[in-house]
Amino acid sequence: MKQEDFTLQMVNPKDFRLSVGVWIRAARQRAMCTQAMLASRAGVPASSLARLERQGAGSLELFSRVLFALGEIDALDALVQTRLRLARLPADLSQLPQSRAMPKRIRPKGNAR
């Protein structure tokens, strides 16, 4: 998958894995690292990093080590936190507690401010 082929249209797990690989490669290139440099920094084999970039194949451990080494973990954390907040919402929003109505804005009469 070439970088120009990258899309967020993921319809199956393979598309997701390939997108992850493109993300990792693009982040590594922005950081001006070779695969060997990043693999060393992340404490993973260079062959595993190459496979992650090319096929999106690898363990969650590998993925997290590479993200930490790239300084990209915050991007993933933001996504996870958003999904956790959504997961905590009730399925039926009518079950949300009713909030108190805001008081109406009261304007002073005349020109007094």
The CATH number of the domain holding residue 57 is: 1.10.260.40
Between 7 and 87, whose confidence is greater? 87
Q: Measure the CA–CA gap between 25 and 1, rounded to whole angstroms.
A: 11
C-alpha–C-alpha distance, residues 53 and 55, integer Å: 6
Structural tokens at position 3: 């970088």
| Angle subtended at Cα 37 by Cα 33 and Cα 41, rounded to the nearest 5 degrees | 110
83 in a domain, yes or no?
no
Look at residue 21 in the predicted model and tell me its pLDDT. Answer: 94
What pLDDT is stored for residue 1 in this prediction?
Answer: 43
Domain limits for position 58 = 14-72
User: Which carries the bigger pLDDT value, residue 75 or residue 10?
Assistant: 75
In the chain, the percentage of residues whose pLDDT exceeds 90 is 47
Q: What is the mean pLDDT of the chain?
A: 83
Residue 29 lies in a domain: yes
Give the torsion sign (CA, 51, 53, 54, 60): positive
pLDDT at 3: 47
Range 73-92 average pLDDT: 84
Would residue 34 count as lying in a domain?
Answer: yes
Q: In this structure, how many other beta carbons lie within 10 angstroms of the beta carbon of residue 104?
A: 6
Q: Over range 13-29, report the average pLDDT.
A: 92
In a domain, 64, yes or no: yes
- Spatial contact of 35 and 13, defined as CB atoms under 8 Å apart: no
In three-state secondary structure terms, 58 is coil
Residue 51 in domain: yes
Residue 2 resides in a domain = no
Q: What total number of domains does the chain contain?
A: 1
